[in-house]
């Protein structure tokens, strides 16, 4: 099994200081991969900057120019959450381009699957503005790039970041060629992603939101994947699966209130790998989104690579969440979502 790793030191030059989304996330992750011996088992895929034409597949030219100009003038805040430093524009181009490199490597058979360890993250960025730590929408750019370059008809984007990927949803809300599936805490930032947001026009039904109540964890996430994502994906028959991998739904993450474990993330990755093998010649690309507890992020990335490499064992140094009462109502919730998307067995 050949698993690819996309990484470039330029991602550390997106300097956000003591902002919660900072370079230590990747420093810790890369160190952990090396220390555990996983790094030497991965095929390095050198990142490249996305071209303006590629970024414009999703973003408005005037917005791209604004980001470039602001960075050249020393940076500053793009929105109340998203900070730009002098090197952030270049890093953002490399973040988008890094995911494109991963897609190319998977689609051409250079590797079986890949994980792009990039920053800044992307799934909140919309056509004409930054949001939620995100400058360019890396996974959305990659999906549209794959559809055009490889003449694909259907791409699945699975997003398990704790925050809803509003930018990704917006990009493909009326597009029948992209199935967007998201699990996310709700209500929570950015306020989108209720179950009745299912797409519009020709894209009706190709947005599948699974909002989660605070306190739900591994059991609920795995049921959402097995009972909603799996049948929806089988019906859609994607030719490529892209994954927005955010590890902030972990019980130890300081920004959210979910109870997923590293074991849970690894099991979700295994489900996605199985779907890719079953449906699309194993074409599977992960890209990093959120996750702000450094130990959780590093260990979850390692566990994801274990899954991509085919290891049956899961290394979870933090274990399951401390015992707590879970909110009720999951059975009714999942029935409503399955009914809405006609996934009843």
Token digits for 21? Answer: 């989304």
Asked whether the beta carbons of 54 and 147 are under 8 A apart, the reply is no
240-245/284-288 β-pairing:
parallel
Q: What's the confidence (pLDDT) of residue 168?
A: 99
Q: What's the confidence (pLDDT) of residue 326?
A: 77
Nearest one of 285, 290, 319 to 108, comparing CA atoms: 285
Helix (H) or strand (E) holding 333: helix 330-340
Q: What's the confidence (pLDDT) of residue 325?
A: 73
Q: What's the confidence (pLDDT) of residue 268?
A: 98
pLDDT tens-digit profile of 233-266? 999 999 999 999 999 999 999 999 999 999 999 9
Q: Which residues are catalytic?
A: 124
Asked whether the beta carbons of 106 and 114 are under 8 A apart, the reply is yes
- The CA distance from 205 to 159, in Å, is 16
Range 3-340 has CATH code 3.40.50.720:
no
Work out the number of other CB atoms within 10 angstroms of the CB of residue 235: 12
- The CA distance from 315 to 336, in Å, is 34
Task: Report percent pLDDT > 90 for the chain.
Answer: 96
Q: How far apart are the first and last CA of the chain?
A: 34
Domains of the chain by residue range: 3-340
Q: What's the confidence (pLDDT) of residue 237?
A: 98
Q: What's the confidence (pLDDT) of residue 321?
A: 82
Calculate the average pLDDT of the chain: 97
pLDDT tens-digit profile of 281-331? 999 999 999 999 999 999 999 999 999 999 989 999 999 887 667 788 999
State the average pLDDT over residues 160-166.
Answer: 98
**∠ CA(130), CA(132), CA(136), 5° rounding?**
40
Query: Does residue 344 have a pLDDT over 90?
Result: no
Q: What's the confidence (pLDDT) of residue 342?
A: 96
Q: How far is CA 92 from CA 9, 67, 81, 199, in A?
A: 12, 10, 16, 28
Higher pLDDT, 322 or 175: 175
pLDDT tens-digit profile of 79-104? 999 999 999 999 999 999 999 999 99
pLDDT tens-digit profile of 106-140? 999 999 999 999 999 999 999 999 999 999 999 99
State the average pLDDT over residues 14-23.
Answer: 98
Higher pLDDT, 1 or 208: 208
Q: How far is CA 248 from CA 118, 157, 159, 270, 319, in A?
A: 16, 18, 12, 19, 15
Q: What's the confidence (pLDDT) of residue 345?
A: 55
> From the DSSP assignment, how many helices (H) and strands (E) are in the chain?
11, 10
pLDDT tens-digit profile of 216-230? 999 999 999 999 999
């Amino acid at each position: 099994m050949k698993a690819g790793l996309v990484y470039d030191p330029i991602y550390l030059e997106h300097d956000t200081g003591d902002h919660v989304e900072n370079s230590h996330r990747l420093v810790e992750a890369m160190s952990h991969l090396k220390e555990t011996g996983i790094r030497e088992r991965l095929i390095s895929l050198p990142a490249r900057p996305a071209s303006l034409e590629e970024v414009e597949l999703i973003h408005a030219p005037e917005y791209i120019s604004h980001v470039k100009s602001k960075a050249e003038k020393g940076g500053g805040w793009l929105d109340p959450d998203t900070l730009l430093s002098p090197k952030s524009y270049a890093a953002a181009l490399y973040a988008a381009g890094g995911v494109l490199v991963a897609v190319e490597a998977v689609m051409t058979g250079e590797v079986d699957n890949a994980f792009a360890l990039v920053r800044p993250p992307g799934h909140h960025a919309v056509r004409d503005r930054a949001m939620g730590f995100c400058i360019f929408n890396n996974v959305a750019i990659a999906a549209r790039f794959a559809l055009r370059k490889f003449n694909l008809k259907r791409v699945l984007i699975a997003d398990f970041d704790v925050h809803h990927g509003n930018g990704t949803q917006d990009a493909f809300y009326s597009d029948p060629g992209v199935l967007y599936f998201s699990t996310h805490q709700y209500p929570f930032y950015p306020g989108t992603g209720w179950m009745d947001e299912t797409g519009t026009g020709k894209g009706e039904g190709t947005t599948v939101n699974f909002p989660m109540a605070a306190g739900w964890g591994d059991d609920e996430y795995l049921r959402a994947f097995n009972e909603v994502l799996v049948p929806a994906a089988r019906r859609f028959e994607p030719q490529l699966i892209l994954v927005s991998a955010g590890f902030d739904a972990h019980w130890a993450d300081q920004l959210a209130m979910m109870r997923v474990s590293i074991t849970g993330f690894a099991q979700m990755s295994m489900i996605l790998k199985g779907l890719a093998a079953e449906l699309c010649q194993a074409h599977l690309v992960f890209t990093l989104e959120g996750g702000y507890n450094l130990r959780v992020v590093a260990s979850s990335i390692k566990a994801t690579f274990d899954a991509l490499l085919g290891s049956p064992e899961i290394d979870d140094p933090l274990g399951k969440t401390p015992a707590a009462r879970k909110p009720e109502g999951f059975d009714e919730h999942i029935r409503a979502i399955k009914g809405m998307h006609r996934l009843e067995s």
